[in-house]
Amino acid sequence: MIQAAGIEVHRGPRMVLKGVDFHIGQGEVVALTGANGSGKTTLLEVCAGILSLTSGSVIWRTDADEERVVRDSDGRRSEPPPMGLTLQSNGMCGEETVEERLRASLSVSGRSPDENAVSQVLSEWRLEHRRADRVSQLSGGQRRRLAVLCGLVPAAFSKGPRVVLLDEPSEGLDESGRALLTGWLRAIAQDGHSVLVATHDEGVVRCADRVLVVQDSLLMESPGLSEGKPSKLPKPSQSVEPSTNGSLIRWAIRMEARNPVDTIGRATPALVALLLAYALVGEVDLGHAGSDLLAALILVPAFITAVVSPALVRRLAEDDCGRWWNAMLGPTARPTYSLIGASLILPLPLTYLSWFVLTGSTDSTSESEVLLWLWLPAVVMIDVAAAAAALHLLVADLRRASAAAASLLLLVLVWPFLQLTDALSVIMTDGMSFGLGMGEPLMSCIIASLISILVWAVAIYLPDA
């Protein structure tokens, strides 16, 4: 199911794994053991495709019985086949409900069980009475139960073989939870699925078919005991097309609808800037040389909404939620994050609101033409917003606290803002034209868009290069 060859991983100057070769066969439980910091989590996350490799490759077997390179040292990365994953830090956002998290885990793996099946597994794991509660309202043990269950259900509900990756699943579980875990592990393996579990728990190690010990950056293998009585798993559910990006988008929309901190956090400073601009300049005569200033003030609120750090960054950082989605989506995770996190709606209405507040509403022919084309710089501002979101994501991925200075990269986006200001100023003074010469409104908008796209591409693809 998984073949890893020549794996070498560095964390700074330290070599965590060196020359590691191993495989996971169908229908077996493989335990990863070793001292704290030995590299168990690193190896598991390498298999999930989350970490880059200094050398080597990780290859998965797909449902079509084909080999897929999930990650290699040449920079290739692919979305892994549908799988189950439980991270050491749970990988859940506190704003989602228990049922939402469970259904998201099933959706990305191509499963759609009915209501009775969902209730059955939640009851078995003693979470049915909390299904409508937010994850943040659960106790630590309940959160761990939910995270482990979400890692197991993609295999439990699947007819075809699935891989399950579990990082310290028994940590935080009580005795009944550990017994439930080992019973499900044996049942999943019995149904032909494969499990790789990093653990210190001797009970989990005893239920494994093979044991891999990580020591001194190397891997040593020994046979396991395969102990434990298999539990009764739910019946396989209806198969649907896996929806990774779609599931992420729906998840992000639900989180924002439930707690609109992103919308409020963007709109508030933009409206404050608009009120300050109105207090400073009031109404400005469009015929005067102040059109450049007026154009800048009209676009400033939209620009502020574009460059404010999106709430998505904080949601993804919570309990490694972003790393869980990153494993599920593969190389499309970062582009999708940047588009979801961008201010896609506010620039257009804020630009028109700024126009009416700062210029007043008149029926002159010149102002009617400006209103007819005011949408153009506002729409291009969406490209600026996507680039800003990508830069915020890039900074959030940097580990060192001093790397926060990388947020100064946002200053690059002043360039497209100035281009859009020039475009709007020309439209206000000379009207709209469709020439492609330098200084023409359309050309200025094109340049602003291209700059933003270039910044976006660098911020998205540089970390995985």
In whole angstroms, how far apart are CA 44 and each of 32, 117, 121, 251, 333? 9, 29, 26, 25, 19
Backbone angles phi and psi of 370, in degrees to 5: -60, -45
| Predicted pLDDT at 366 | 63
Mean pLDDT split into 10-residue runs, the chain, 465 residues: 92 85 93 91 93 92 90 90 94 94 92 89 95 94 96 93 95 93 95 95 94 90 90 82 87 92 92 88 55 89 94 91 93 93 93 88 66 92 95 78 62 94 90 85 95 94 69
Burial of 92 (0-12, 13-18, 19+ CB in 10 A): buried
pTM of this prediction? 0.90
Tokens standing for 231? Answer: 């539990």
Report the alpha-carbon distance of residue 28 to residue 163 in Å, rounded: 10
| Predicted pLDDT at 410 | 85
Give, to the nearest 10 degrees, the angle between helix 347-359 and helix 261-281: 20
Q: Which of 105, 51, 113, 144 is nearest to 330 (CA)?
A: 51
The dihedral through the CA atoms of 311, 316, 319, 321 has a sign that is: positive
Indicate the CATH number for domain 2-242: 3.40.50.300
> Where along the chain do the CATH 3.40.50.300 domains lie?
2-242
Report the alpha-carbon distance of residue 125 to residue 146 in Å, rounded: 8
| Predicted pLDDT at 395 | 84
Buried b (16+ CB within 10 A) or exposed e, 18-45: bebebebeeebbbbbbbeeebbbbbbbb
Tokens standing for 124? Answer: 């078995």
Report the alpha-carbon distance of residue 189 to residue 352 in Å, rounded: 60
| Predicted pLDDT at 282 | 57
Report the alpha-carbon distance of residue 309 to residue 312 in Å, rounded: 8
Note whether 370 and 423 are within 8 A (CB): no
| Predicted pLDDT at 401 | 45
Note whether 416 and 452 are within 8 A (CB): yes
